[in-house]
Structure 1
């Protein structure tokens, strides 16, 4: 059985580790990013709903979120929806793919003006107003550190994490074909590139689903 490598930053990384442990999969927490809040103030504009594409927006949004709790939330997936509910918001739409799909779902129920509470490094979506409420700073472990991924399963939660992980694996001359990838979405799978032993894509962008996929990849011959 393979081990799992979790590059997701805290506190999400710890949650993923716990889910893997419940499935009997040993895992190494190896964060490649650190999350920090960014000072911001709500815009003096009218919106129909908030777009949330990462739980980090809810965890690190700070007191500015208090002025927005009357707005319904359009969440990209179950993880973002859970974080929004925990922060006191009502979730009106929960997507099952990516930000574009979530925006389409919002338009279908009549939400035309969306405020995206987002990270500093993001892909802006057409017709959506974005507000930076947190940042994700990349970490660079010492040379050779990614050798730990050889023969294991890596869980990747975002396109940016996928690109960073792939670059570090190549830097440390780890053979890609000896690493299996569990990707949160098709966009993540595309961002990590080719040459891996296996790339599995979660059918929904949810950490619970991703950890189940990673467990399968860890056990499969």
Structure 2
């Protein structure tokens, strides 16, 4: 069964490389493209830590990140943590779950006021002030004659967009990175499965099993 990757670049190619290493032949067709947004950095003295839920925030945040590089940076996943270090954050702390769990982790460490730098579309997080530093704009489309395939869903927005674009849902198996993502897909699919943990590696482990069925 074909494997379809719809996440934005450069993440799409990173996922594709991991998929090939597992013996899969992915079809890369991004349904979003990310672009930086103009933003005005607030007073860094008002925050105890920075929270990043996406590598794109670190990659596209630009010069506005500079006043916050001395603060602890809480990042969801190793990919985001790596992007944070590349942007100049020295004290990077990695969480393996989602943004809410990361905010709880920060609070336990005494960070009561968080600056959440993220995308224009976001989920509110406890104790966090959100500023959009990038946007993920819809682009592209699913192949007209996709046939039977496993589609990787890395976000609820991706799930919604696939639901909008898909033709015959009965031939598509959806592999979602989280239960929240799976909840956004609607009904009528051949199957919907959720990764054991919200990580790209876990999602691909699930994809291997689904592609073999």
Q: TM-score, normalised by structure 1?
A: 0.89
Answer yes or no: is the 8 Å Cα contact 2:52–2:118 preserved in 1.
yes
Alignment of 1:69-88 (within 5 A): 69-88=69-88
2:29–2:140 Cα contact (<8 Å) kept: no
Gaps of 5+ in 2: none
What aligned pairs does 1:29-68 form with structure 2 within 5 A after superposition?
29-45=28-44, 46-68=46-68
How far apart in 1 are the matches of 2:10 and 2:94? Answer: 24
User: 2 CA distance for matches of 1:184 and 1:83?
Assistant: 20
Map 1:1-40; keep pairs closer than 5 Å.
Answer: 2-40=1-39
Structure 1, residues 98-123: CA drift from partner, whole Å, max 9, x if none? 22122112112211110000111112
Aligned with residue 179 of structure 2, among 183, 186, 198: 186
Residue 159 in 1 paired to residue 156 in 2? yes
Shift of 1:22: 0.6
- Tell me the equivalent position of 2:189: 196
Q: Please give the alpha-carbon distance, in whole angstroms, between the structure 1 residues aligned to 2:53 and 2:151.
A: 21
SS of alignment partner, residue 147 of structure 1: coil
User: How many matched pairs?
Assistant: 211
Structure 1 residues 169-192: Cα deviation after superposition (integer angstroms, max 9, x where no partner): 1xxx31x23111111111111111
Listed one character per residue, the Cα deviations across residues 49-99 of structure 1 (whole Å, up to 9, x for unaligned) are: 111111110111111122211111122233322322332322224142x22
CA–CA distance in structure 1, aligned partners of residues 83 and 192 of structure 2: 27
Cα 1:68–1:29 change in 2 (3 A) is same
Structure 2 partner of 1:209: 202
User: 1:140, CA displacement in angstroms?
Assistant: 4.9
| Alpha-carbon shift at residue 138 of structure 1 (Å) | 0.8
Deviations 1:29-49 (A, max 9, x none): 111011100112320142111
Counterpart contact for 1:94–1:102, Cα < 8 Å: yes
- TM-score norm. by structure 2 comes to 0.92
Q: CA shift at 1:201, angstroms?
A: 1.4
